[in-house]
Structure 1
Amino acid sequence: MIGNDVVDLATAKIESNWKRKGFLSKQFTTYEQILIQKASNQDEMVWMLWSLKESTYKAYQRINYNRGFYPIKIEIQSLELSDNEYFATTSLFNKTFYGKTHVESEMIHSIVLLSDSDFKKVTNYTTNTILKDKNSLPFCSITKNPLSISHHGAFKKIVQFHLK
């Protein structure tokens, strides 16, 4: 299904110290830690990977509702930069997802889906016709399409996955 996450980089810098002892090993796999160590902007890489993990978690909830805290179980399997966007393959509980991340100077925004071809079915959502299902997952009350809502600091992103 769909998941999205936004990170306000200024807020993350104030509220989170990813350099504290043990943080990286509790949140990121060895491969992900190597990506962070090799990055020219380590802050940006940490929050981009975090955003992909959070988006993957949200997408997984639509398939198999299973609340929990799974950052180390959500694995970034590949990460490539193309045309100022990062493309990733992630997994959680043996389910593969495809992610796209846009990085700006103040914000990082990731969207994760079950199929790489489904990105054409995603649009930004701006109206207030939002309801929640029995698991508190948001959907559009008019179209019944799934929504993913994320907010952090000064930023809020709502995306809609068009089923048809």
Structure 2
Amino acid sequence: MIGNDIVDLKKAKTDSNIFRPRYMEKVLSQNEQNLVLSSPKPEQDFWRLWTMKESAYKAFQRKFNSKPVFNPFAFHCELMDSENGLVHFGGDYVKTTTTFYRENYTYCSVSCSASSSSFIANSKEQLIQNLRMEFGESSQPQLLKLKNNLPFIKIASKTIPVSITHHGIYFAIQF
């Protein structure tokens, strides 16, 4: 299973006031809200929980081939340590890994397979270049979507399922 999400923290700071009345209530359970509000770094923990939920949503959407409808209350986050967590959905769960890069971004990926890879880039063009280097192909990778809106890349004769995310100036792909 693959799933990822990235938040450009500078853009999020200007576009989203997570402390405005009822904002957190719309996306976090009461336990998750308490975790954020009692944290020494509440904004960082809010975006960590958000990216965990989004990453898990993408992974479960692919697993169950479901329609793209995100309900944040269907996903319950559990923090294991400063990077690793679990996201519960129904009777299932996925492990996640979250990376914070300075004050620039928060990136989370579902970590179900040791063989999955990911790239983070500052532009879509840089992301495509990384894919070309990864697959050693001279042809241009194509980012496409299936009928159910699930992304994949096509490069030469290969078709590879991917999870793509972007926010602000950051783009990331997991495959």
For 1:133, give the aligned amino acid: L
Match in the other structure for 2:15: 15
1:121 alignment partner, one of 98, 107, 116: 116
Cα shift readout 1:52-106 (whole Å, capped 9, x = no counterpart): 111111111101213223111111033312xxxx101101222211100001121
1:18 CA drift (Å) = 0.9
CA RMSD of aligned residues (A): 1.6
Matched, 1:145 2:140: no
Compare 17-26 and 102-111 and name the one that shifted more: 17-26
Unaligned runs of 5+ in 1: none
Cα shift readout 1:23-80 (whole Å, capped 9, x = no counterpart): 1122111221122122211111111110111111111110121322311111103331
1:122 CA drift (Å) = 2.4
Match in the other structure for 1:40: 40
Larger Rg: 2
Matched, 1:136 2:149: yes
Alignment identity in percent?
31
- Following TM superposition, the consecutive aligned residue runs of length 4 or more in structure 1 with deviations greater than 2 angstroms are 119-131, 142-145
Q: Structure 1 CA distance, aligned partners of 2:77 and 2:105? A: 20
Q: Structure 1 CA distance, aligned partners of 2:70 and 2:22? A: 16
Compare 3-12 and 92-101 and name the one that shifted more: 92-101
Q: Structure 2 CA distance, aligned partners of 1:78 and 1:43? A: 15
- Counterparts of 1:52-91 in structure 2, within 5 Å, are 52-64=52-64, 65-81=66-82, 86-91=83-88
TM-score norm. by structure 1 comes to 0.85
Match in the other structure for 2:134: none
Residues 38 and 89 of structure 1, relative CA distance in 2, 3 Å threshold? same
Match in the other structure for 2:109: 111
For 2:108, give the aligned amino acid: S
Unaligned runs of 5+ in 2: 120-126, 132-140
1:10 CA drift (Å) = 0.7
2:98 alignment partner, one of 87, 101, 122: 101
For 1:49, give the aligned amino acid: L
Aligned pairs, number: 153
SS at match of 2:81: strand
